[in-house]
Amino acid sequence: MAEAAVGARPARRNWLMAIGRQRELTLVAIMFVAGAGVSMIAPQFLSVSNFSQVAVLASITAVAAIGEAIVIITRGIDLSVEAMIGLVAYAVARSLELHALDPVAAVAMGLGIGLVLGMVNGFVVAVLKVPAIVATLGTLSIFRGIDYVIAGPHQVPLAGLPAGFSDVSIADVFGIPIFVLVTVVVVVVGMVLLRSTRFGRQVYAVGSNPEAAAILGIPSRLVVFVAFSLCGLLAGVAGVMWVMEFGTINGTAATGMTLAIVAAVVVGGVNTLGGSGTLAGAAIGALFLGFIANALILVGLSQFWLQAIYGVVILVAIGSDQIIRRNVQRANTRSGAR
């Protein structure tokens, strides 16, 4: 009896573990199945233009989510990311409106501002040793405050941007939107960085066991500092993309984005306790959320449902992660005992 039960269980566990390990595939599968349902109600869902629109919008969240994922893998969190995106977006748009910079210089400045803001977060967390949640809740307020002070009630109109600047968001190479290509490049570079470099392995080490990492002589504070800096840099990229996508920018740009970004990371299977997760997962998580938002509109549900669904998606994602983790642990302890 007992033998049979033990023999029967691992099959189920292996299946669960397979899902746990392949969060990216699970999300893609859910999107396929749900997508089939949505397309029956709204046939326009399957059009190429709709797909590319969803992917372009999701790219902005995805790029920021990749930076957030690096921070979360080190056991941190960056709640200030929306304020960094907003501040970069306004600074870039305003400098273009004033003809102070040419487009290339403005983009470079945007990335630079993002990097500096990320370094500020990294400094407060890694050097001043303020817990990440407190530090970035504080800088969320500070960066947004600076944005408000600079912008005042002013709004940069689409017409204020140089001709062609916002065309980048609809441009494509061989049919693939440039924003999607940017995201793919960021994912590939990021994954190579995390998988194949010393820094990347240190990121996972610091996140999975800070004490052990310290004993091994890993400069964990430097790793955390660099992770926050990268998050800022990628928020800068997202800020520039925001200007290209929306054109009309005021001091409140990107308000509330942090929630979608953290949701994308969590849905993408990054462990919120640090130490595991992939950047591709975070990007696919962003696509998944964009897909839900799009499906909601096409099915005819009101925009007001979006927030609630994001909340449910976050809870389901962390809940299912936990169930899988417990099953895996139980399977491991049992196989270890035998």
Partner 1 sequence: MTGSTRSGTGLGRWTRALARWETVLLLALLGLIVLGNSLSPFFLTPGNFSNLVAALMEVAIMALPLTLVIILGEIDLSVESMAGLASAALGFMWAAGVPLQVAIPIVLVMGAVGGLLNGTLVARGGLPSLVVTLGTLALFRGMALIILGPRGVSNFPPAFTELGFGHVPGTVIPWPFVVFLALAVVLGIVLHKTWIGRQTYAIGRNAGTARYSGVRVARLRISLFVLSGTIAALAGVILTSRLSSARADAGQGMTITAVTVVLLGGANIFGGSGTIPGTVLAVLVVAVMQNALRLASVTVEVQSIALGLLLILSVLIPSIARQTRMAVDRVRRRRRQSADPIAGEPAI
* Interface residues toward partner 1, by CB under 8 A: 77, 124, 128-131, 133-135, 137-142, 144-146, 148-149, 259, 262-263, 266, 272-273, 302, 304-312, 314-315, 318-319, 322, 326
Is the CB of 43 or the CB of 319 nearer to partner 1?
A: 319
Which residues, 6 or more positions from 312, have their beta carbon under 8 angstroms from its beta carbon?
none
Nearer to partner 1, 177 or 281 (CB): 281
Nearest approach in angstroms of CB 127 to partner 1 is 11
Q: How many CB atoms lie within 10 A of CB 332?
A: 12
Task: Tell me how far the alpha carbon of residue 170 is from its chain's centroid.
Answer: 21
The first and second tokens of residue 13, run together, are 């566990």
Tokens of 338: 């035998």
Residue 45 or residue 310: which is nearer to partner 1 going by CB? 310
> What is the amino acid identity at position 260?
A
The residue among 322 and 335 lying less far from partner 1, judged by its C-beta, is 322
How close are the terminal C-alpha atoms of the chain, in Å? 16
Nearest CA among 108, 107, 94 for reference residue 247: 94
CB of 92 to partner 1, least distance (A): 20
Q: 124 vs 280, which CB is nearer to partner 1?
A: 124
Q: Are 251 and 95 in contact (CB under 8 A)?
A: no
Of 33 and 273, the one with the shorter C-beta distance to partner 1 is 273
* 13 and 331 Cβ atoms separated by less than 8 Å: yes
Contact between 65 and 264 under an 8 Å Cβ cutoff? The reply is yes
- The rounded distance, in Å, linking the Cα atoms of 265 and 77 is 11
Give dist(CA 133, CA 327) in Å, integer: 30
Nearer to partner 1, 200 or 210 (CB): 210
Dmax (CA) for the chain in angstroms is: 79
Identify the sign of the CA torsion 162, 168, 170, 173.
positive
Residues 117/60, Cβ–Cβ less than 8 Å: no
CB of 270 to partner 1, least distance (A): 11
Task: Give the distance from CA 122 to its chain's centroid.
Answer: 18
Closest approach of Cβ 284 to partner 1, in Å?
19
| Helix, strand counts (H, E) of the chain | 13, 2
Least Å distance, CB 65 to partner 1, is 14
Closest distance of CB 86 from partner 1, Å:
13
The nearest distance, CB 308 to partner 1, in angstroms, is: 3
Each as own residue / partner, the long-range contacts of residues 163-167 (CB below 8 Å, 24 or more positions apart, any chain) are 165/96, 165/103, 165/243, 165/244, 166/243, 166/244, 166/245, 166/247
Residue closer to partner 1 (CB basis): 146 or 237:
146
For partner 1, which is the closer residue by CB, 216 or 315? 315
Least separation in angstroms between CB 309 and partner 1: 7
Residue 78 C-beta: closest distance to partner 1, Å: 12
